[in-house]
Amino acid sequence: TNLATQASVIAGFSFESLVELEVPEDTHWLLSSTYFVFGSAAMAMSLYCLVVSSFACVFGHRLALQGPHGSLEKAVTIMVSHRLHIFAVAGASLLCLVLAAVLMAWIKMGPAAGVVSAIFLAFGGAVSYRMHLLLGLFQIPESQVVTGAVQVN
């Protein structure tokens, strides 16, 4: 549910920026079109992440708690197998939001656009680096993974 909450925030930011940005008439069509593509992609991927992660959470918990014998292991296996996909979509939506923000800077901020773009790109690089670092730190060797298998005698 934590990821679903973050996805809803990104979807809201994306929607707001798509609706509220007034593109000056002298803006090159490719610049404004690319902005709208990245903003729309951020919104669509965030909504996808929101729906899929909420669905997985609700039905995964239901299967684990109310399903027949072996359902806990099945629910854990299903949720773990889809986890990276959902995180990848969430990361892609954040990347699209940052790229839309960079393009918005070039549409609206004139001479400051270069500095603003550098700030957004530095942010994107820092987030990417830290996520990669944390992913390595949180890795569990395959032989030590607890699967949720339960044996009752």
> Which pTM value belongs to this model?
0.84
* pLDDT at position 72: 86
Alpha-carbon distance of 2 to 128, in angstroms, equals 19
Rank 37-46, 50-59, 99-108, 132-141 by mean pLDDT and report only the highest: 37-46
Mean pLDDT of 108-124: 91
* pLDDT at position 133: 96
Contact 54, 1 (CB under 8 A): yes
Contact 43, 15 (CB under 8 A): yes
- Looking at the chain, the whole-number percentage of residues with pLDDT higher than 70 is 95
